[in-house]
Amino acid sequence: MSASNNLLFMLLAVALGAVVLSGILSERNIDGVQAHLRPIAPAYVDEPCRLEVRYERRCKHREAAFALQLRELAPGVWKPWGQRPQAPQIVDAFLPVLDANTGRTTCLRVFSQRGRTSIPTCELITRFPFGLLNKAKDVHVQLHVLVRARRVPVPEQIEDPRSAAGEGERAEARGLGTEIYGLRERQDWDEAFRVHALRSMALGRDVVLETAQVQRPTAWLGVATTPQAEPVALERTLEIAAAALSAWDGRGFAVGLATPNIAYAPGELSVDGLLDVIADLSPAAFERVDARHQPGLWLIPEGAHGPRVPGVLAMHVNAQGQLRQAGQS
């Protein structure tokens, strides 16, 4: 036992045995573990989006799993660990212990382009139990995300819809009668006089009663997403359109959106629904323009052409996101 050669071989055998044992236990640790991703907050371009990672274990043995890391497989040529993209540019979630059939954690992911995107495959990694080996396997998560346009400040020219719709007759149009739209939770921007006192006392929280005649003036916005538009100017236009709709909704307007091939009247979709429509827009030619159902303001990206409707105000948007009034079409 005291011979140096014997000690050397014993230490070598222990080291090799630890490597083999680590591989066996690591394989058992991730056996039957699957992962699922879903967004738990709206995704905006160049902003961290919070994703929920749900681990699920489907295997016969009931032992807890430890040190599970889910990492997105970046497209392209394989790169060493030190050169791979880091969070939040990719999905990277760590779960210390999975001691039941399911476990949850969250992570952040930044998306750089507007529209529909997906993350088809990630790798599940563990270094349990000794940290000697990285044991990994591919996991098909099939995450599909609709990324909204980048959030930008609202240009001063269209901050208030009444200042940009001709003489204001369309922006000031009211709903018919005094029908109730419904109750909703009070938001930070709601004035105190809009709180429904009796209903708020009954529920124990502030709620706002909305009616068509008093509380919901309408505001329309059109976006000319024609194929001739310059791509960069088109993205700036969609960003400004999304910012304007959100700001107008915060001012108490029922907002509507018109595109070359479809129109959503004020109140037909929520502002979140309209933001999703903008996120999924692609260039399209004008099919028809009905002056009775079109907004009084069109945003036209540089290179595109707007509708020719009398009394409609058109504003051109360049690649820097600057607005220039084009006069009435």
Task: Give the pLDDT confidence of 101-156 residue by residue, as tens digits.
Answer: 899 999 999 999 999 999 988 999 998 888 878 889 999 998 999 999 999 999 98
Alpha helices in 83-170 (DSSP H): none
* pLDDT at residue 76, rounded to an integer: 65
pTM of the complete model = 0.76
Half-sphere exposure of 177 (CA within 13 A, CB side): 3
Half-sphere exposure of 22 (CA within 13 A, CB side): 16
Beta strands in 58-134 (DSSP E): 65-72, 92-98, 102-110, 115-126
Task: Give the pLDDT confidence of 192-206 residue by residue, as tens digits.
Answer: 877 888 888 888 888
Q: Which long-range contacts (CB under 8 A, 24 or more apart) does 38-44 make?
A: 38/143, 39/143, 39/145, 40/106, 42/148, 42/272, 42/275, 43/111, 43/145, 43/146, 43/147, 43/148, 44/147, 44/148, 44/149, 44/150, 44/151
Residue 100 in tokens: 């039941």
Q: Work out the mean pLDDT of the chain and round it to a whole number.
A: 83
Q: Is it the case that residue 75 has pLDDT exceeding 80?
A: no
* pLDDT at residue 169, rounded to an integer: 38
User: pLDDT-derived band of residue 187, with 50, 70 and 90 as boundaries?
Assistant: confident
Q: Is it the case that residue 72 has pLDDT exceeding 70?
A: yes
DSSP per-residue string spanning 200-252: HHHHTS-EEEEETTTT--EEEEEE---TTS-HHHHHHHHHHHHHHHHHHHHTT
* pLDDT at residue 293, rounded to an integer: 56
Report yes or no: 19 and 133 within 8 Å, Cβ to Cβ: yes
Q: Is it the case that residue 4 has pLDDT exceeding 70?
A: yes
Among 16-20, 21-25, 216-220, the least confident range: 216-220
* pLDDT at residue 81, rounded to an integer: 65
Domain architecture of the chain: domains with CATH: 4-148 (2.60.40.10), 156-173+217-328 (no CATH), 179-214 (no CATH)
